[in-house]
Amino acid sequence: MHLESISGRVPGKEEPVSYSEKTLAQFSTLLSEKVSVPGGGGAAALAGALAAALGSMTGRFTVGKKRYAAVEEEIQACIEACAGLRIKLLEKIDEDAEAFEPLSRAYGLPKDAENREEILEKCLKDAAKAPAEIAALSKEVIDHADVLAHKGSTLMVSDAGCSAVLAKASFQAAVLNVYVNTRLMKDREAAEKLNEEMRKLEENCLEKADEIYAYVAERLK
């Protein structure tokens, strides 16, 4: 049994499905079905992409106004960064699905299948990679939402807050999808290294998102 044989695809015969190019209705319908992909990782990436999009929108309603001339350069940097993060997060929807599908098939291998443990270990490591990257990207979105909430247009402060809230949800969902894979990895050194990376990201990420929410909520009351 080889890794290629559990992918469900024949090289040169079938193009991978692009979940990021589905309509929202199609994607959410697929997400509700009893299928391996898309799943929590893809949903986390979508939430992060939406958060980044809101960041860009908040910035675009800020630049070009005399009132915010002093922060124009900083806001413009946020717009550009969020635009890039949105694209990267959308790409992670498909990357997560591509990595998880082989893992799903690996779980179904007979316990006495040749190289089952080796296959499962590789699939677990591959499946943890995209969620870990989604978490890191979502943390970046939160950092930009912080700037936009405090320095962006006051008319868009609620959108900056929504960006932070969605990015936090994306982050937390992604981290859970890391942990669900690392807990089963036989290579405990690699598993703990990845877990520690997630814990370090959490140290100020979640608190910052909560602070942004509290700040925005207070301004809106």
Each residue of 147-169: pLDDT tens digit? 999 999 999 999 999 999 999 99
**Ordered DSSP codes for the chain:** --GGGGSS--TTT-PPP-GGGS-HHHHHHHHHSSSSSS-HHHHHHHHHHHHHHHHHHHHHTTTT-GGGGGGHHHHHHHHHHHHHHHHHHHHHHHHHHHHHHHHHHHHTS-TTSTTHHHHHHHHHHHHHHHHHHHHHHHHHHHHHHHHHHHHS-GGGHHHHHHHHHHHHHHHHHHHHHHHHHHTT-S-HHHHHHHHHHHHHHHHHHHHHHHHHHHHHHHHH-
Read off the pLDDT of each residue in 23-52 and give the average, rounded to a whole number. 95
**95 contacts 108 by C-beta, under 8 angstroms:** no
**123 contacts 96 by C-beta, under 8 angstroms:** no
**pLDDT per position as a tens digit, 103-139:** 888 888 888 888 888 899 899 999 999 999 999 999 9
């893809």: which residue's tokens? 42
Total-model pTM: 0.89
CATH for the stretch 36-220: 1.20.120.680
Q: What is the per-residue pLDDT for 8?
A: 38
Give the start-to-end residue ranges of the domains of the chain. 36-220
Mean pLDDT across the chain, nearest whole number?
A: 91
| C-alpha to C-alpha distance for 39 and 29, rounded to whole angstroms | 11
